[in-house]
Each structure stands twice: as C-alpha cells, then as structure tokens.
Structure 1
Amino acid sequence: MLYPELFKSMEAVRWNMASDIPWDQFEASKLSDEQAYTIKMNAITEWAALPATEMFLRDNRDDSDFCAFMSIWFYEEQKHSLALIEYLRRFRPELMPTEQELHKVRFEFDPAPALETLMLHFCGEVRLNHWYRRAADWHTEPVIKAIYKIIAQDEARHAGAYLRYMKRALVHQGMEFGQHARLAFSKIGVLMASAHRTPQALHPTNLHVNKDMFPNDTVQSQLPSPGWLENWLDNQICFDKEWEGKVSARILHNLSLLMDTTFNTVQDLNRYRKGLIKNQPATAGA
C-alpha cells in the first residue's frame, strides 16, 4: 500500500494556516479589486475538490489504497479553498464566496475510466502548480503571494503522489493491465501536453463531465463569472506559450520516466500511443 507512506511524507511537510501564512504582513495598497476578485474565483474552483473526491471514491471502489489517499488529497485541496476564503474574510469580506456559490460547483461527474481520470488529474496538478507560481508572481500583495507559493508546492506533491499510483498500475497488476494503463496514460498525456493547440484551458475543472448538463457541465461554467479563467490566464497572470511549454515538458519528462521511453515532444508520445494500439491484438492474444 502507498497510503501509509504518502500520509507520513505529507504529514511531515504540512503547513499550518495560523502560523505559516504571514497574515501580519498584509499591505492593503498592494491589492487591487481585480486581483481580489480572482482570489474569490480560485477559492470556489478549489472547492470543486468535493465533487472530484466523490467521483474518485465511486470510480475506485475496488482500490482501497487509492481511496484512502483521497483523505489526504481532499483535506489539502479543501484547505486551499479555506485559506483563500480566510484571506478574503480578513481583507476583502465583501468578496467572500457564499455557501450557495460554493455548493453550485458540487454536481455529479459522469463515470469515467479510472486510469484515464488518474492521468488527467496528474496533469491537472502539474498545470495548477505552474498556474499558482505565475499567480504568485502576478500578485503584488505579500500575504497572497505567500499563499499561492504554499499551495503551488502542495499541488506539486499531489502530482507526485498520483505518479506513484500510476507507476503501481504499470507494475503491480499484471502485464495486460500494465499495457492498458500505458495506453490510458499516453492517450491523456497527448491531450494534456498539447494545450497550446486548444482554445480552452486543459484542466479538469474546465472539461465537460456531465452529459445531461451540457454545456454547463464544467466546474468553471458554474462559477459566478464563467469566463474568468481565460482572462486570468491570458491577461492577468500571462500564462503564455513559454509557460505552457514548461507544463508540457514536465508531463513528457514524467511520462518518459514512467514508461522508460524518451518523449521529447508530444509527437513522440503520440507515436508511442499508436504503437501500443497497433500491438494490442497481439498482446491480448498472448
């Protein structure tokens, strides 16, 4: 089981909201209305860990180890939301999300293949780490800069934990399951490492997850300002091609280590994926 080890490692670096955030360094003149509003939107977005956890527990009922890890992930993601809400409570109380605004992002996600969802969220954590690093650079107020740096580090650790479960899927459950996992990971990897080719931000909260609610079935579509994310990325934190390239490179690097194959480009990964598809019948027959 991975859960006991992950619990111990994450417990060792867990931060305290009362003592590890420099609340007393707040400088009101360095927080604009524009910046404060994006904090509210991110606080609500982080709250969507609630329906995501419900999805993970439902779709991984046969994997108690992974479901136990969800207790860590869910706690830390909701803590991110709470830290951002606490910031607003202290310094911009008029922008605190209402309970209704938070509850609106809690809707049911359609069942999906567990391995593909795992890879999707691994990539999402990598991307969110980079988003929050850019947010910390964009903000000028010291306390919120510190908060974004802290939660960015959490997202990186979450990506590392998901990667551990991906590695387990490749080696611990038989050759046939391992090949199925390789195909699932490479398929989602091609999508998530190609964000520069898509009009929308490729993050789990910005993807369609409930066909009966379409097109309002993304977490972002349930926010008070559904279009805020693109503006935040393009015009505020300026998440440009260079930063997209860093996300893509990080995904490809980790998949290279995972698959023991070098992927320098998305095209390399896509060729690998096509090779897996081509060899599927022979593998199944064997």
Structure 2
Amino acid sequence: MLYPDLFKQLESVRWDMATDIPWQDFDGARLSDEQAQTIKMNAITEWAALPATEMFLRDNRHDSDFSAFMSIWFFEEQKHSLVLMEYLRRFRPDCVPSEEELHQVRFDFDPAPPLETLMLHFCGEIRLNHWYRRAAEWHSEPVIKHIYTTLSQDEARHGGAYLRYMRRALEKCGDEARAAFAKVGVLMASARRTAQALHPTNLHVNKALFPRDTVQSRMPDPDWLEHWLDQQIRFDAVWEGKVGERILHNLGLLFNRSFKTVQDLNRYRKELTSRLGSPAGPAPQGT
C-alpha cells in the first residue's frame, strides 16, 4: 500500500494556518480590489475538491489504498480554500464567498475511466502548481504571495503522490494504463492549441447539466479564469510550455521513453492502441 508512506511524507511537511502564514506582515496598500476578487474566485475553485473527492471515492471503490489517500488530498485541498477565505475574512471581509457560492460548485460528475481520471488530475496538479507560482509573482501584497507559494508547493507534492499511483497502475495494468495516461497526456500537454484552460475544473463532467457542467461555469463570474490567466497573472505561451514540458518529462520517466513534443507522445499513443488491438481513433481534442 502507498497510503501509509504518503501519509507520513505529507504529514511531515504540512503547514499550520495559524503559525506558518505571516498574517502580521499584511500590507493593505499592496492589495487591489481586482486582486481580492481573484482570491475569492480561487477560494471557490478550491472548494470543488469536494465533488472531485466524491467522484474519486465512487469510481475507485475497487481500490481502498487510493481511496484512503483521498483523505489526505481532500483535507489539504479544502485547506487551500480555507486559507484563502481566512485571508479575505481578515483583510477583505466583503469578498468572502457565501456558503451558497461555495455550494454551487458541488455537483455530480459523470462516471469516468479511473485511469484516465488519475492522469487528468496528475496533469491538473502540475498546471495548478505553475498557475499559483505565477500568481505569487503577480501579487505584491506579502501575505498572499506567501500563501500562493505555499499552495503551489502543496500541488507539486500532490502531483508526486498521483505519480506514485500511476507507477503502481503500470505494474498492475501494463499497456492499458500506458494507453490511458498517453491519451490524456496528449490532451493536457496541448493547451497552447486550445481556446480554453485545460484543467479539471474547466472540463465538462456532467452531460445532463451541460453547459453548466464545469466547475468554472458555476462560478459567480464564469469568465474569470480566462481573464485571470490572460490579463492578470499573464500565463503566456512560455508558462504553458513549462507545463507541457513537465507532463512530457514525467511520462517519459514513467514509460522509459523520451518525448520531446506532444506529437512524439501521440505517436506512442497510437502504438499502444495498435498493440492493444483497438482503433487509435482521432487524437484527443487539442492535438
């Protein structure tokens, strides 16, 4: 089992909201109304770990080890929402999300193949790590800079934990797992070719609720994410390239192959589908 070791590992570096956040360093002159609103939106987005955890537990009933790990992931992701809300409660109480605004992003996700979902969230952690690093650079107020840096480090550790479950899946499922990871990897490393931000909170997950079946579509301002990325934290092609490189690098280590480009990974995906005896079909959206 991976859960006991991951528990020890993540417990040893867990930060305390009361003592590890330098609340006393707050400088109100360095926080704009615009920035406060983005903190609110990120707090609500992080709250979506709740329906994501419900999805993981439902779709992984066969895997008690991974389901137990969800106790750590869920706790730390909800803590991200909480620390952002605590920042607003202390310094901008007018921007604290309401309970109804938080509840709006709790809805059922359609069942999906567990291996593909695992890879999707691994890529999501890589992307969020980079988003938060960029957010820490955009902000000038010292406390929120510290918070975003702290959250980015948590997201990197979560990605590492998901990667360990991916390695275990390769041992158990072989090419089936490789094909699932390559399929989602092609999509998630191709963000520069898509019109939308490729993150789990921005993907459609419930056909019956379409088009309000993404987390972002249920936000107080459904368009905030693109504006935050493009106009505020300036998550440009260079930063998107860093995300794609990390995805390709980690899949290369996982598969013992070298992927310089998304096209290299897509060719490998087609090799796998051919080996499995199923049609390769078109490349996933975004390639």
* TM-score range normalised by the length of the shorter chain: over 0.9
Partner residue in 2 for 1:26: 26
Alignment of 1:48 onto 2:52: no
C-alpha distance after superposition, 1:30-67 (max 9, x if no partner): 00000000000000000000000000000000000000
Deviation (angstroms), 1:281: 2.5
Mapping of residues 190-229 of structure 1, within 5 Å: 190-229=186-225
**Partner residue, 1:76:** 76
Q: Mark the runs of 5 or more structure 1 residues left unpaired by the alignment.
A: none
Q: Counterpart of 2:285?
A: none
Tell me the distance in 2 between the aligned counterparts of 1:30 and 1:75.
30
Within the candidate set 219, 237, 244, 1:241 is matched to 237
**What fraction of aligned residue pairs are identical, expressed as a percent?**
74
Query: Match of 1:69, SS?
Result: helix
Does 2:247 correspond to 1:251?
yes
TM-score norm. by structure 1 comes to 0.97
Give structure 2 stretches of 5+ with no counterpart.
279-287
Q: How does 1:271-282 map to 2 (within 5 A)?
A: 271-281=267-277
Which residue matches 1:109? 109
Q: Quote the residue 1:134 is aligned against.
A: 134
Q: Which residue of 2 aligns with 1:145?
A: 145
Question: Residue type matched to 1:74 in 2?
Answer: F
Whole-Å separation in 1 of the counterparts to 2:191 and 2:200? 13
Partner of 2:121: 121
Amino acid at match of 2:202: N
Letter in 2 for 1:235: Q
Q: Runs of 4 or more off by more than 3 Å in structure 1?
A: none
Aligned twin of 2:281: none
> How many Å separate the matches in 1 of 2:132 and 2:139?
10
In 2, Cα distance between equivalents of 1:99 and 1:125: 25
Instruction: Tell me, in whole angstroms, the C-alpha distance in 1 between the residues paired with 2:263 and 2:255.
Output: 15
- In 1, the alpha carbon distance for the partners of 2:11 and 2:66 equals 17
3-state SS of 2:198 partner: coil
Q: Residue 61 of structure 2 aligns to which amino acid in structure 1?
A: R
Q: Which amino acid aligns with 1:220?
A: Q
- 1:167 paired with 2:167, answer yes
Matched residues in 1 for 2:261 and 2:82: separation? Answer: 38
The number of residue pairs the alignment matches comes to 278
- Which amino acid is the alignment partner of residue 70 of structure 1? M
> Residue 231 in 1 paired to residue 227 in 2?
yes
The 2-side partners of 1:94 and 1:276 are apart by 53
- Between the aligned partners of 1:258 and 1:242, the Cα distance in structure 2 is 24
- SS of the aligned residue for 1:281 comes to coil
Length-normalised TM-score, structure 2:
0.96
